[in-house]
Amino acid sequence: MVHVDGSALGSPGPAGYGGLCRDNFGLCLMGFYKDVGVADNLKVELLVILHGMKLAWRANFHNILCVSDSLLTVNLVLRPLDVFHKYAPIIAHIKELLQQFWSVCVCHSLRKGNQSVNFLSKLGPNCGVDLVILDTMPEGLHSFVKTDAAGTIFCKM
């Protein structure tokens, strides 16, 4: 599973995103966050799906459930591409990855089920770092990871 979340401090404003790769039992395999400069929420939510999928691929995770708490973003990815959409190039790139030779399912989760990545996404804006890959979890994240792993993912497709 790749749980992702974006965070923009304003619309547009300083923005970043975060994600967490877990195994089928909820165990954290890798985390990440990134500062993306100034952007709006929708752009950041799309970028985190795109980059979360790319990171998962590079880490040899080829059977992926990508979970986002942005229903609008999930719908943009799953529905036919609107070539006139403001972010059509990003959406098209995500769709290209979905058609690669791997198994990817993108679904929506309520924010309650995505607390860990919400925490990580808040580290992104203004961190001044292009991309941070975590093999150990930062202080403060452990309780969210345990709660999320024990909870239910509420999918809307």
Q: What is the pLDDT along the chain (157 residues), one digit of tens a residue?
A: 899 999 888 888 999 999 998 888 777 888 999 999 999 999 999 999 999 999 888 888 888 889 999 999 999 999 999 999 999 999 999 999 888 867 888 999 876 656 777 888 888 887 777 888 888 776 666 666 666 555 544 454 4
| pTM attached to this predicted model | 0.84
Q: Which helix (H) or strand (E) holds 17?
A: strand 13-22
CA distances (Å), origin 84, targets 12, 35, 88: 20, 27, 7
pLDDT score at 144: 63
Q: For each of the domains in the chain, give its residue range(s) and CATH number, in order of start.
A: 2-150 (3.30.420.10)
How many helices and strands, by DSSP H and E, does the chain display?
Answer: 5, 6
